[in-house]
Amino acid sequence: MNGAVTRVLVADDQTVVREGIVMLLGLLPGIEVVGAAADGEEAVTLVERHHPDVVLMDLRMPRVDGVEATRRIRAAYPGTEVVVLTTYADDESLFPALQAGARGYLTKDAGGEEIAKAIADVRAGAAGLSPQVQLRLLERLAEGPAQSAAPSAPSAPSAPSASSPERPAARGGELPDGLTVREAEVLALIAEGLSNAEIAQRLFVSQATVKTHINNLFAKTAVRDRAQAVAYAFRHGITGTQQ
């Protein structure tokens, strides 16, 4: 994608903020703003019209909010990624947005460089999350196993791979939806924000093998993308924490 222009749509109900974001994006190389929406309903309409690569989505908007707009866009136009750009970073805002299909999440104190990086990351298939959001996700991942009781009489667990010193932990001590230990390891690394190449390097396997594991775990867990996989991981307490 070197040299390619990323087409971006901005959705924000505050006129001054919306125009400011559009102006900022216009100064960034490799980005073309194709439209600006004042609410989620208009955002969905403009996505249908312009087919942007990325939508920068506010959350709290009239008529249709950002979470519902994200859900509609990701369902109807899977080629369009969504990066949330909002004032709010509380759990009630963050996790529904990720579960709706957003791949990125930034707060409005983000600068142009951080916004550009998030846009580039989601276009490359990675998560475009601010450092504080990544930290909150990891905190939530850590909270799950800490609240669970020790499993009773587990049946012959699979031995951890010699190439990976850590095994994923899950609430209740069992992996959900038939996930294998290796698939759960890959899921935990996705939740840490690692790309396929980084996961392959961490696990000492090829990127093709990583893609196979991702395809398998996506099918088993019924998630559509990496953002939903992150939400699934924290919901089930799957981490890279050693058991």
Q: How many whole angstroms separate alpha carbon 187 and alpha carbon 169? A: 11
Averaged pLDDT, 24-33: 92
What pLDDT score does 3 carry? 61
Q: How deeply is 190 buried, as exposed, middle or buried, from its count of CB atoms within 10 A (0-12, 13-18, 19+)?
A: buried
What pLDDT score does 235 carry? 85
What pLDDT score does 237 carry? 86
Averaged pLDDT, 102-115: 89
Higher pLDDT: 67 or 207? It is 67
What pLDDT score does 242 carry? 37
* The model scores a pTM over 0.75: no
Q: Are 102 and 122 spatial neighbours (Cβ–Cβ below 8 Å)?
A: no
What pLDDT score does 2 carry? 52
What pLDDT score does 17 carry? 92
Q: Is the pLDDT of residue 82 over 80?
A: yes
**For residues 233, 122, 70 and 36, what is the CA-based torsion angle, rounded to 10 degrees?**
160
DSSP 105-119: EEETT--HHHHHHHH
Instruction: Quick: pLDDT tens for 163-214.
Output: 444 555 555 567 888 888 888 889 988 888 888 888 888 888 888 888 888 9
Instruction: Quick: pLDDT tens for 122-178.
Output: 998 888 888 778 777 777 777 654 443 333 434 334 444 434 445 555 555 678 888
Q: Is the pLDDT of residue 89 over 80?
A: no
